[in-house]
Structure 1
Amino acid sequence: MPSSDYTAAAGGALKLKGGSVDKKKKKKKPKPTAESSSTTAAAASNPAARSSKSPSHTPRRSVSPDAAERVIKDAGGRKKTEAEKRHEEMRRKRLEDRLKKEGVKTHKEKVEELNKYLSGLSEHHDMPKIGPG
């Protein structure tokens, strides 16, 4: 396949529907003067001075995933689309209807009902006895 098949593919980050994460703009560092440039040269040769940042720092990522998630939650979450809203509403209605029809049962009641159903089945469904005992 020639490489021209892939020329239509768009590059860049994926975009989410609904909302966006506000990225903090990086502050521009002031241009070093002659005096401070000598200190940066010394720091460049000293590996201990360069690794002063925490080891969990990722240099290529402007916002960590945890921080981005916190920003979305603090902002009230992302906005849902109309289809997502309809889906949530139908799901909630189905759950309410099912609870009205079946009623609320405790675990003990569910187990008793299952045992009653299993006891009513024929021997064909019984587990065969295998091995000693």
Structure 2
Amino acid sequence: MPSSDYTTAVGGGLKLKGSGIDKKKKKKKPKPTESPAESSKPSSDIAKPPTPGDDGVKSPSHTPGRALSPDIAEQSIKEGGGRRKTEAERRHDETRRKRLEERMKRDGVKTHKEKVEELNKYLSGLSEHHDMPKIGPG
């Protein structure tokens, strides 16, 4: 291959039509330098105000952004009487309970054998149109 085929190639990014706006590079701000007195103190010894839900217990994993480990948080919820439900959650649970009671009154408590017998009785009453077709030999 002759090298003259590639002599007209221009390096750099692609130029697109209609992109008249050039992005300017942002300048990085210099990091503030600490005085020698401040740098000798570790940042963990600085007293922080307690955050809500932080019972002074650090998570064993020391993950940032999480005041408590999931196990400790779950235990504190159980000790505190559980999670408080909202009004909508309480209404939903109440209507669900009422519907369940209504269904139990209407249907009663059936054993598995009774349910199977009822299903077989229903299926035997259906027309042949609903029967499963035989596929294959036999």
TM-score bucket (shorter structure): 0.5 to 0.7
1:26 deviation in Å?
A: 5.5
Give how far 1:64 is off: 1.4
Q: Runs of 4 or more off by more than 3 Å in structure 1?
A: none
1:6 matched to which residue of 2? none
Q: Which runs of structure 2 are paired with 1:1-133 in the superposition (5 Å)?
A: 22-25=53-56, 57-60=60-63, 61-133=66-138
Distance 1:75 1:111, change over 3 A: same
RMSD (Å), alpha carbons: 2.2
Cα deviations by residue, 1:12-59 (Å, 9 ceiling, x for unpaired): xxxxxxxxx7322268xxxxxxxxxxxxxxxxxxxxxxxxxxxxx422
Q: Any idea what SS the aligned residue of 1:24 has?
A: coil
* Count of paired positions: 85
State the match for 2:11 in structure 1.
none
Return 5+ residue gaps in structure 2 as ranges. 1-51
In structure 1, C-alpha distance between the alignment counterparts of 2:117 and 2:57, rounded to whole Å: 63
Bigger relative CO (Cα 8 Å, ≥ 6 apart): 1
1:110–1:26 CA distance, 2 compared to 1 (3 A): closer
CA distance in 2, matches of 1:87, 1:125: 38
Residue 131 of structure 1: how far off its partner (Å): 1.2
Gaps of 5+ in 1: 1-20, 28-56
- CA distance 1:131–1:124, shift in 2 (3 Å): same
Q: Distance in 1 between matches of 2:120 and 2:131?
A: 13
Higher helix share: 1
- Give distance in 2, aligned partners of 1:84 and 1:118: 39
SS in structure 2 opposite 1:111? helix
* TM-score, normalization by structure 1: 0.57
Letter matched to residue 25 of structure 1: G
